[in-house]
């Protein structure tokens, strides 16, 4: 093995590791910033809830409105809301497990004495 090739390979490996570490550090910094923003938003909501409660207003209604504003601001993608298809009931309307009717072939009978 050529010593020059080994040295170049080790230098390239070290450079790649350094590059990957810098990328990881940048991702961690972005994540920390996002967490700080979320904590700040939660703190603002708590303050708004406390103030509305002090004024005698319904703070739960305000909290829902604030959450809807945050969600509408956060989800700016062009997602179309999906409509749920009409689901049929799992069993027929006449099913009653206590009456024993409509249960199918399974029926419990006490054993012999």
d(CA 91, CA 56): 47
Please tell me the distance from the alpha carbon of residue 92 to that of residue 60, in angstroms, as a whole number: 39
Is pLDDT larger for residue 33 or for residue 68? Answer: 33
Mean of per-residue pLDDT scores for the chain: 80
Look at residue 36 in the predicted model and tell me its pLDDT: 98
Segments making up each domain of the chain, as ranges: 3-72
Q: What is the DSSP string of 29-79?
A: HHHHHHHHHHHHHHHHHHHHHHHHHHTT--HHHHHHHHHHHHHHHH--S-P
pLDDT tens-place string over residues 80-94? 666 767 877 676 676
Q: What is the mean pLDDT of residues 7-31?
A: 97
């Amino acid at each position: 093995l050529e010593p020059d090739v080994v040295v170049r390979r080790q230098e390239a490996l070290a450079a790649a590791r350094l590059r990957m570490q810098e990328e990881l550090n940048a991702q961690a910094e972005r994540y920390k910033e996002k967490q700080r923003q979320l904590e700040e938003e939660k703190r603002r909501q708590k303050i708004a809830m406390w103030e509305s409660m002090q004024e005698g207003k319904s703070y739960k209604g305000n909290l829902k409105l604030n959450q809807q504003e945050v969600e509408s601001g956060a989800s700016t993608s062009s997602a179309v809301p999906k409509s749920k298809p009409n689901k049929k009931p799992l069993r027929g309307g006449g099913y009653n497990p206590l009456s024993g009717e409509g249960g199918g072939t399974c029926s419990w009978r006490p054993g012999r004495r």
